[in-house]
Structure formats: structure tokens, C-alpha cells
Amino acid sequence: MTKQEKVDFVINTLNTLYPEIPIPLDHKDPYTLLVAVLLSAQCTDIRVNKITPLLFAKADNPYDMIKMSVEEIKDIIRPCGLSPMKSKGIYGLSHILIDKYNGEVPQSFKALEALPAVGHKTASVVMSQAFGVPAFPVDTHIHRLMYRWNLTNGKNVTQTEKDAKRLFPKETWNDLHLQIIWYGREYSPARGWDLDKDIITKTIGRRSVLKAYGQSKK
């Protein structure tokens, strides 16, 4: 298969498997999405979706959030991990949104990445899922699968994002990054991986990955 044929195979397979694409993190607007994505760092989406209703019942907008103390926020979000850093980030960015953006989440990568505890991936998720701006946020699933599929060298997520944006048409990015996440969870996990169910890797995967899988099964 040529590189283009592999890309087409990925797109067609994922469109068949996921014609409708749910967003993993529960939210109702850009602000609640921003907070949820921030909380998801080194935490599962399932756990975040259990914690955010507790937090948003008290504060689902920056004005109510700054009425709480950092300690109060930390106590609620503790199960998500990294709560000291995340609580300070949520409190700090809420203040900035009020002071600089009239309580609204800004619609630019630069402005988002300038907020406390907001990195490029978080900004990319918000730009993509809240505002529909083409972006390709790379999480562990996408990083793993792009390597397994021989579409990146796997050195780091920055390179994986560059390769994804270079290979896949821009108009597919917002759907595709979500489709790859769902596919990774269902068919190509890091653990308990069954290659027979993983049709994409089985078809286009790099030889070293397929060989390593075969050896692990002996």
C-alpha cells in the first residue's frame, strides 16, 4: 500500500465504524469543555464525567467558579489527580476570562494557550470541539495508533500531530481525531490488544509492531 492508500483506508474504515461521533467529555458550552479537558490530563474521561457534574453543580461559569476557593475546587476534583495544579489552573483561568474576555472563552490558540494549566492539546480540543476550528489534538490513543499504522515515527506527540496534519485532509481533522480515539479504545488498546479485531493495524501496521505482537502471543 502507498501512504495515500493507507490514509484513505483509515478514513474510510473509521467513517464506516463511526458515522456518528460522540464527544468523550460531557459539557454544555466552551467553558465547561475547557474545564473538563483540563481535568482529563492523566485521568480517564469516565472519571472526569463523574466529577464534573459535582463541580458544575456549584460553578459552571467563571463568575461562580471564582466565588469558590482553590481549596474548595481541589477537594471536588481530587479524584481526577493533579488536583493542586488543576484547581489553581481552573481558578486562575476563570479570573482571566472575566478580566480579559468578559467571561467568554477566547477563540484563538494563542489566547487559550496563555491561560493557566492550558497547553496546546487542551487548546486544540476546545478550538475543535467548541468552535469547529480545524485542529488535531493528539492524545495517547492517537499517538499509539499513528505509530502502529506506520504514519509517524512515534518520537513525540508534537511530531505525531505534524504528521497527522500533513497526511490527512484538513476538513477531516475534527471528526478524525475523535474517531481514532474511539477506535483505539475499542479495537487497538495498549493492553489486551487483539490484532484480529484491529482491522486497520492488521492491514497497514508497521512490520515491527506486527512481529512484536506475534511474538507476544507465542
User: Catalytic amino acids?
Assistant: 121, 139
171: DSSP letter: G
Candidates 4, 8, 14; CA nearest to 142 is: 14
C-alpha triplet 35, 176, 43: angle, nearest 5°: 35
Query: What's the grid cell of residue 73?
Result: 475546587
Contact 132, 174 (CB under 8 A): yes
Query: What's the grid cell of residue 168?
Result: 490527512
Rounded CA gap, 143 and 78, in Å? 27
Q: Would you call 181 exposed, middle or buried from its count of C-beta atoms within 10 A (0-12, 13-18, 19+)?
A: buried
152: DSSP letter: S
Q: What SS3 class is residue 165? A: helix
Contact 112, 126 (CB under 8 A): yes
Candidates 92, 97, 93, 121; CA nearest to 109 is: 121
